[in-house]
Amino acid sequence: MRRLVYSLAFGAGAAFAAPALAQNVGIATSNPGSIFHNIGTAVANVANNAGIRATIQPATSPNQYIPFVASGGIEFGVANLQEVNYALEGKEWFSGSENPDLRIVGQIMPLVEAIFVRADSGIESVADLRGQPMVDGYTAQQTILPQLDAIYSTVGMTRADMVPVNVPSVVAGADAFIAGDAVGFIFAHGAGKVREADAAVGGLRALTVEPTDEALEVARQHWPVAFFAELAAGSNPGVNEDGWFFAYPQVVFTHAGADEDTVYAMTKALYEGKDALAATMPGFRDFNPDDMANDVGVSEFHPGAIRFYREIGIWEE
C-alpha cells in the first residue's frame, strides 16, 4: 500500500543501435539493476504485447541517453521528469546544451527513493549520517547529487556533513555500500539492486523523511518536482515500519521527429497496459493511466500522445 501527498502542479558515451523504422523501436534505459532498466523492461513488454517491436538499450545513465533520444538516435526513453526538463532547457548538468526536440509521451508511476543503511547499523534517521562515510560524486549520474541534497536538507544538513565516498552511478554506490566502503546508498524502492543489497548485508533500513510543509519546501529548492510518498511496513526491502519518502514523477519520452502513429500506439499501449506493467515491475501498481497527461511544466507532449489523450477525453488544452 502506498499513499501519495503533496502532488505537484507545474506552472554520449553509450552504445545504441541505429534508428529503426516505425513500429520497430528502441527504448533507452540505465544499466541492469537500475530502476530505469526495470521501468524500460516493463514498457518494452507492454509495447510488444501491443504489436510494437520494442527492445531496451541500456546506457550508464539518463545523462547520456536523454540527449541521444532528443537527437532522434533512438525512439523512446524512460527518465524522471525533472531531468528531462533540465535537458530541454539546457540547465544544471545539461548547461549550454539545450535539447528543444524532447517530447513527452506520458507520465507513469512515481519514483520513490530512500537512503538505505544496514538494519543493524544503529543509524535510525538521515540526521544520524552526519560525519559518516557516504556515497557521493556520481560523475556519470549527476541527477543524484541534488536528490541527495534535497533529502539531507530536510534535516538541515548538506553533503558536506558526510565523508564523501565518490562513485560514478547509483549501481556503483550500492556496490560500495555492499563492500563496506560507505554506511549508506541512495536508490529507488523496488529496484533489483536494493534486493541484492538487502540479501548481501542481512537486511536494510530505509531512512524516512518527515512529511511537513517545511521539509518539502526546502527539498524543492534542490529538486523542484519533489513530493513525499508513504510506504507501508513490509512493502519493500528496508521499509521496516510505515514511513514517508522522497518521490518525484517519471516519464516515457521521445523526440519531435518520432513517427506520430508509433507514438500514438505506444501511448495507447501504456494507457491500457497497467496490469502487464505491474506484472513486470510491481511499482506500476501505483500507476494511474489517467495521470499520463498531467502537467509536465516546461516540456511538451508529442502530437501522437496528444491525439490519443484527446480521443479518450483526458487532454486539457
Full domain range(s) for residue 76: 2-109+249-312
Rounded to an integer, the average pLDDT of 36-48 is 95
Q: What is the pLDDT of residue 14?
A: 38
Phi-psi group of 203: left, alpha or beta (phi > 0 → left; psi -120 to 50 → alpha; rest → beta): left
Same domain assignment for residues 33 and 58: yes
Rounded to an integer, the average pLDDT of 86-105 is 94
Rounded to an integer, the average pLDDT of 192-203 is 96
Q: Give Dmax (Cα) for the chain.
A: 55
* Residue with cell string 544538513: 157
Same domain assignment for residues 105 and 254: yes
108 is written with which cell numbers? 507513469
Q: Which of 221, 248, 275 is the last residue of a domain?
A: 248
158-179: pLDDT as tens digits: 999 999 999 999 999 999 999 9
Q: Which of 248, 270, 303 is the last residue of a domain?
A: 248
- Domain-embedded: residue 205: yes
Percent above pLDDT 90 for the chain: 79
198-245: pLDDT as tens digits: 999 999 999 999 999 999 999 999 998 899 999 999 999 999 999 999
Determine the length of the chain.
317
Residues 6+ apart with CB under 8 A from 308: 264, 267, 268, 271
Where would I find the H helices in 90-208?
144-153, 170-178, 192-201
Rounded to an integer, the average pLDDT of 54-70 is 92
Taking alpha carbons only, the member of 90, 9, 25, 57 closest to residue 304 is: 25
Same domain assignment for residues 96 and 193: no
Q: Which of 193, 222, 248 is the last residue of a domain?
A: 248
> Does position 10 have pLDDT exceeding 70, yes or no?
no
Same domain assignment for residues 88 and 50: yes
> Does position 9 have pLDDT exceeding 70, yes or no?
no
Helix axes 81-89, 62-70, angle to 10 degrees: 60
- Domain-embedded: residue 159: yes
Same domain assignment for residues 139 and 90: no
Please tell me the pTM assigned to this model: 0.78
Same domain assignment for residues 65 and 90: yes
- Domain-embedded: residue 13: yes
Same domain assignment for residues 67 and 124: no
Cα distances from 8 to residues 216, 220, 246, 261, in angstroms, run 11, 10, 13, 30
Percent above pLDDT 70 for the chain: 93
14 is written with which cell numbers? 553509450
Same domain assignment for residues 237 and 162: yes
Rounded to an integer, the average pLDDT of 253-276 is 97
3-state secondary structure of 12: coil
CATH of the domain at 287: 3.40.190.10
- Domain-embedded: residue 25: yes
Same domain assignment for residues 158 and 213: yes
Q: How does residue 191 score in pLDDT terms, banded at 50, 70 and 90?
A: confident
301 is written with which cell numbers? 507532449
Same domain assignment for residues 238 and 116: yes
Q: Mean pLDDT in the chain?
A: 91
- Domain-embedded: residue 224: yes
Same domain assignment for residues 161 and 194: yes
Q: How does residue 193 score in pLDDT terms, banded at 50, 70 and 90?
A: very high
3-state secondary structure of 254: strand
Same domain assignment for residues 290 and 307: yes
State how many domains the chain has. 2
Q: How does residue 23 score in pLDDT terms, banded at 50, 70 and 90?
A: low
- Asked if residue 297 lies in contact with residue 11, where contact means CB atoms within 8 angstroms, the answer is yes
Q: What is the pLDDT of residue 49?
A: 94
- Asked if residue 230 lies in contact with residue 66, where contact means CB atoms within 8 angstroms, the answer is no
- Domain-embedded: residue 317: no
Q: What is the pLDDT of residue 123?
A: 98
